[in-house]
Structure 1
Amino acid sequence: MLSPTQERLTTLMDRVVPGDEDPSASQAGGLAFLESVVAERPEWADRLDDVVAREEASVHWDWFAELVAGGFYADPANGGNAGAASWRMVDWQPEPLGGWPTTVPVAEATPVTVHPAALEDRYDAIVIGSGAGGGVAACGLAEAGRRVLVVEAGEWPAIGTLAEDHLRNPRSDWGLAPRSGPTDDRDVRVADDGRTRLPIRPADPGWNNNASTAGGGTRVYGAQAWRFAPLDFRMASTYGVPDGSALRDWPISYDDLEPYYSRAEWEVGVSGGIDDGRWSGPRSRPYPMPAVAAGPARERFAAAASALGFGTVHVPLLVNSTPWLGRRACAGCNQCVGFACPVDAKNGSQNTMLTRAFATGRAQVVLRTRAARLRTDATGRVVGVTLVGTRDGRDWQRDVDAAEIVVAAGAIESARLLLNSRSDLEPNGIGNGNDLVGRHLQGHVYGGATGVFDDVVEDLVGPGPSIATTDHRHGNAGLVGGGMIANEFVATPSNTYRYLVGAGLLPRAGTASKEGMRRLVRRTARLMGPIQEVTSADSRVRVDDGVTDRYGVPVARLSGSVHAEDLRARDATSARSAAWLRAAGAVRAVEVGGTPVGPSGGQHQAGTLRMGSDPSHSVVDEFGRVWGHENLRVTDGSVHVTNGGVNPVLTIFATAMRSVEQMTAE
């Protein structure tokens, strides 16, 4: 028997998703769903109480409506979509249209782990982070004969753990901690707007949704594998430096990086078309695999682009279109971005570079472990790392020495580590003599548009991105740089609900909302693209000595904002995306807009330890070596001077390969 509060919640949630020929929210298990998420976020109980008391007049009503709808349209395991009722209602399925190709279990990569109690006192090299840059470093050093310890803050979860949850992945925004981590609420950051400092939890949008798991972001990324263009390395020379910007050229060129782009494409595995289109540089080798299969939506958008007068290319993906490196081809499922690949056809650090490192017998990984600080001797030389973690319910700390150390924890955490590594010789942190560590934080401001059509356009052929235009990465009159635009990944129904509500194309609740979802899930398309940010010295990472994590280490403090030029480029991308949608037949197209709060630094975070030709304007040299520390390197996106108008992961792989090759040559 339901309590009065439960009865009231049942009535209210059925106002959000009423019953008709398909179940209402309560009939689909909505009450159990709400109870489960409140158990995870106890502070939400007060919000629910206010909704029960004040109904639609509550300041939390919109939040309540979206949460109830989120559970209704999410995966059945979340409890609000019993029997996948809403998926049948909206004609959506997670599996490939033709079903899974085989029932044979996937052979997952197996890590070589070490328990904290079994750590050695000294290694040849310690690599901090296991994402794209950390995986390359571990592989290159181990294959060169070094004994390597990889330090990973997260777990090494099985594919199934990361392959399904629609509300707990780093590409959704429901306030629930992603399964890819971090999951400890004490892993806070601080947002500093110049007046107040507010804590940011891992489940909050301001956390910047980078995965904290073995393989880093490559475990759950969308895997778009673009090269930066030659002009991307010469932004300041090409456009000048806008007022308030810290725009600079890279100390290296496209030609310097091209051999390593090619290596990354073949050693990690990229599928794609003939080239990257206009503005792309010359290639020494083609892609190793043809483009991933696409549905008829590609033909529609290609014809529309042609009518508008711009060219299109296939979207390069770190996804196997054919069997590659002993693993399967993409099965075409509809849960790609934000999820681990069910058939292990998505190529990340964990199943390529780290696997090779472990195969040498000279590399191992310690999980659920953080680097608290880098340790130096009396001369200032880096000699080791202080590691901290929790195992068997107990916190531990251990000093481990190494001849060489590679930092690859992501732009925010890598900067935090150097800033927390203080000594008498460097009281403001390692490499921070010129107050540059943590500055120039950037990511990607995204432009784009959501369109709705009278006919079905979502063909449910995953991953989704099949066509892009790169014509507008540069050469846009009155703008600094630009970016590519591509059709988006197949969206989950819960995310489609969010996109449509956010764009004003769907009521948040009620019969019209449910009818709208029935009609629009397969009649909605999104075109999106990242723009080339011009960077700012005031967009930065510092550490907050007044707020520490569970191990007493000061947390990252984020401040600053995106540059006005970035918003102008974003708006131009949004307008062009909307025009493309309308040319493809959209009856309505709503552009991305608004003013972002805080600095840019999402899953494409970069720039906080940028490279340069001298220490007056950079933290590392062109090979990622921290100035004044010949045995300390950085191999993640924090070394990027600018971040391109495309996804940056292939550049992280390539710069890391270049740095490690030079490192081992020494």
Structure 2
Amino acid sequence: MALKHVDAVVIGSGAGGGIVAKELACAGMKVVLLERGRWVTPADCRKDDLRNQRTSVLGAPFGPDDEGNPRVYVDLQGREHIVYPSRGAYHNNAMCVGGGTASYGAMAWRFMPQDFKMRSTYGPVEGSTLEDWPISYADLEPFYEKAEWELGVSGDDGPNPFKGPRRRPLPMPPLPPNREYEILKPAALRLGWHPFDIPMLRNSVPYDGRPPCMRCRWCVGFACEVNAKNGTQNTVIPKALATGNCELRTECVAREILLDHKGRARAVVYHDRDGRIQTQPANLIVVSCGAIESARLLLNSKSKWFPNGIGNNHDWVGRNLQGHTYTGAIGLFPFDCYDDLGPGASIAICDFNHGNPGLVGGAMLANEFIRLPYQFVQRVQSFVPKSWGKPFKDFMRQWYRRSIMVQGPVQEMPMWEARVQLDPKVKDRWGIPVARLSGRKHPHTLEVAEYISQKAELWLREAGAIQTFRRVPGPELSAGQHQAGTCRMGKDPKTSVVDPYCRVHDVENLYVVDASVHVTNGGFNPVLTIMAIAYWAAHHILKAHRAS
């Protein structure tokens, strides 16, 4: 039986799709929200050190399963590898209701004004597709504010002199400081830096009917058992469903988008939870699957209008895949630093996001979330003589509680060669060509990472560390949970995939609303910018809807 025609289909319920679905449903539109994963509860996590979104050696608890969900990764030597969600080269982001927001660390950063005009600020970078955004910080500021207040953000960025202007403060105060905060803050001040409380999508006080954070160690990589971590699954999606205008269909995998005889999007073809192919017609379609899967869906949606995939007549879909080059340092101290107060991350500086001599961009620096013992092993194993046996156990016993890690997400130089394609041979369990990932980091990204790691080490030594280890990643492709850039926003269809309002060029009723549209990815966790763009795009979708 044919499915009933609706006003809108939103594909993906994460930071972008969940918000768009809520905005459209609250405005009276009939919405179908498709999610390839399922609802995940804290009970599903089991507080397992070896099976969480950060450590997935025993599987990806927030989806997808290894079985039936491969990708192909091409390494720097050109060798092809079939990889699965529990492995790093897969570059997984959670696939469940709420997407990555169900398990993230919940840092809630606004990009800085300079982040929207990187080419104008620094000039061209050889070998990079660095460009300005077609929208500005001022355009997004009201929508940043809306995300902060509707979902709920705690913190205090008042002492940060580098932030963009804001009309309202954050709605909740920061959590009380932990031991690492008390150690790092005076050190930063002695260095002449400007430390402040990290903004987080986490309740420090009761907010919108949800309790405050209980400060447990199982935070980043886990679902919050008291609902104090604010994602789309416990904020906007329940509000969308409460309108009666939004239907959430879980375990539904989008296969392709169909166009009509005029080149307008007319329906989404998807596999339901029983594997049956369904066709959902709609007046408009919003793709919010994350940078890898959104590009994959567009590339697999071929027609006479777009023989190489929707939006891809100029070969930009899937290009410029980027994430963040995390860099920093670990310090060992002659006293206990660990107080078992989650989430751990608490203090940051933005002194090195911009204005670094001879460098393009930079990164914020912050102390790390609580590192569970297995995660600590992963961080330090390259710095100790043996990563097994009694010497390593002795190292863990001596230093686990006496260590602090400071790190930051370096803003990457986008690369044309870093990309998502459809693999010509490998298919998933539904017979859909899988994503093929290839490319590398730009050399200048690694230069910036080296500089930022030196600043992290300096901060730790000033704080009293007696030994430090710097961590700088290699040149391999970057994406991961901060994946972005594959459906670039721009005004020119020849050099971008969507327009400034996230509408796919030449398809008037098809939108991409997630980090795919980011021109650059800032030196910050990108989720609040994804949310702000979702509110921005929804505002313009509704404006066009009312006009028609």
Instruction: With the length of structure 1 as denominator, give the TM-score of the two structures.
Output: 0.80
1:121 counterpart residue number: 4
Amino acid at match of 1:617: T
Measured in 1, the distance between the counterparts of 2:84 and 2:406 equals 30
- Structure 1 position 483 matched with structure 2 position 363: yes
1:350 counterpart residue number: 233
Measured in 2, the distance between the counterparts of 1:344 and 1:276 equals 29
Gaps of 5+ in 1: 1-116
1:452 to 332, 354, 366: 332
2:168 counterpart residue number: 285
- Retained in 2: the 8 A contact 1:233–1:254? yes
Structure with greater proportional helix content: 1
Amino acid at match of 2:509: N
Measured in 2, the distance between the counterparts of 1:163 and 1:123 equals 38
- Retained in 2: the 8 A contact 1:163–1:341? no
Measured in 2, the distance between the counterparts of 1:494 and 1:501 equals 10
SS in 2 for 1:527: strand
Q: Closer, same or farther in 2 for the Cα pair 1:567/1:173, shift >3 Å? A: farther
Count of aligned pairs between the two proteins: 543
* 1:182 CA drift (Å): 0.6
1:232 to 115, 124, 146: 115
2:68 to 178, 182, 186: 186
Alignment of 1:103-122 (within 5 A): 120-122=3-5
2:256 to 370, 373, 376: 373
1:302 to 185, 205, 208: 185
Measured in 1, the distance between the counterparts of 2:181 and 2:173 equals 15
1:442 counterpart residue number: 322
1:655 counterpart residue number: 533
2:199 counterpart residue number: 316
Measured in 2, the distance between the counterparts of 1:195 and 1:319 equals 42
Alignment of 1:18-417 (within 5 A): 120-162=3-45, 164-174=47-57, 176-193=58-75, 195-275=78-158, 277-391=160-274, 395-417=275-297
Measured in 2, the distance between the counterparts of 1:206 and 1:566 equals 19
* 1:413 CA drift (Å): 0.1
1:74 counterpart residue number: none
1:601 counterpart residue number: 479
- Retained in 2: the 8 A contact 1:163–1:340? no
* 1:230 CA drift (Å): 0.4
Identity of aligned residues (%): 47
Gaps of 5+ in 2: none
* 1:163 CA drift (Å): 5.3
Measured in 2, the distance between the counterparts of 1:420 and 1:296 equals 50
SS in 2 for 1:575: helix
1:424 counterpart residue number: 304
Query: Whose RCO is larger (CA < 8 A, sep 6+)?
Result: 2
SS in 2 for 1:373: strand
- Retained in 2: the 8 A contact 1:450–1:590? yes
- Retained in 2: the 8 A contact 1:450–1:589? yes
- Retained in 2: the 8 A contact 1:500–1:506? no
* 1:296 CA drift (Å): 2.8
Measured in 2, the distance between the counterparts of 1:460 and 1:192 equals 40
Amino acid at match of 1:172: T
SS in 1 for 2:256: strand
1:526 to 386, 401, 405: 405
1:77 counterpart residue number: none
Q: Structure 1 stretches (4+) deviating beyond 4 angstroms?
A: none
Question: Could you report, residue by residue, the CA deviation over 1:604-657 in whole angstroms, capped at 9, with x for unpaired residues?
Answer: 000000101121211001110000111101110001111000111000000110
Measured in 2, the distance between the counterparts of 1:576 and 1:120 equals 57
Amino acid at match of 2:71: R
SS in 1 for 2:163: coil
Question: Could you report, residue by residue, the CA deviation over 1:56-82 in whole angstroms, capped at 9, with x for unpaired residues?
Answer: xxxxxxxxxxxxxxxxxxxxxxxxxxx
1:563 to 427, 442, 449: 442
- Structure 1 position 470 matched with structure 2 position 353: no
1:617 to 475, 483, 495: 495
SS in 2 for 1:314: strand
Amino acid at match of 2:483: Q
1:92 counterpart residue number: none
- Structure 1 position 577 matched with structure 2 position 456: yes
* 1:581 CA drift (Å): 0.8
* 1:533 CA drift (Å): 0.9
- Retained in 1: the 8 A contact 2:159–2:194? no
**Larger CA deviation: 468-477 vs 370-379:** 370-379
Amino acid at match of 1:252: I
Question: Could you report, residue by residue, the CA deviation over 1:252-301 in whole angstroms, capped at 9, with x for unpaired residues?
Answer: 11100000000000001000114371321110100000012221321210
Q: Closer, same or farther in 2 for the Cα pair 1:353/1:163, shift >3 Å? A: farther
- Retained in 2: the 8 A contact 1:171–1:209? no
Measured in 2, the distance between the counterparts of 1:580 and 1:573 equals 11
Measured in 2, the distance between the counterparts of 1:515 and 1:235 equals 47
Measured in 2, the distance between the counterparts of 1:209 and 1:427 equals 28
* 1:545 CA drift (Å): 2.4
* 1:173 CA drift (Å): 4.8
SS in 2 for 1:603: helix
Amino acid at match of 1:647: N
1:627 to 462, 480, 505: 505
- Retained in 1: the 8 A contact 2:188–2:459? yes
Measured in 2, the distance between the counterparts of 1:451 and 1:173 equals 26
Measured in 2, the distance between the counterparts of 1:298 and 1:594 equals 26
Question: Could you report, residue by residue, the CA deviation over 1:103-132 in whole angstroms, capped at 9, with x for unpaired residues?
Answer: xxxxxxxxxxxxxx9x83322111000000
- Structure 1 position 546 matched with structure 2 position 425: yes
Amino acid at match of 1:238: T
Measured in 2, the distance between the counterparts of 1:382 and 1:506 equals 59
Amino acid at match of 2:426: V
Measured in 1, the distance between the counterparts of 2:80 and 2:377 equals 32
Measured in 2, the distance between the counterparts of 1:283 and 1:489 equals 27
Compare CA radii of gyration and give the structure with the larger one: 1
SS in 2 for 1:403: strand
**Larger CA deviation: 418-427 vs 509-518:** 509-518
Measured in 1, the distance between the counterparts of 2:538 and 2:390 equals 58
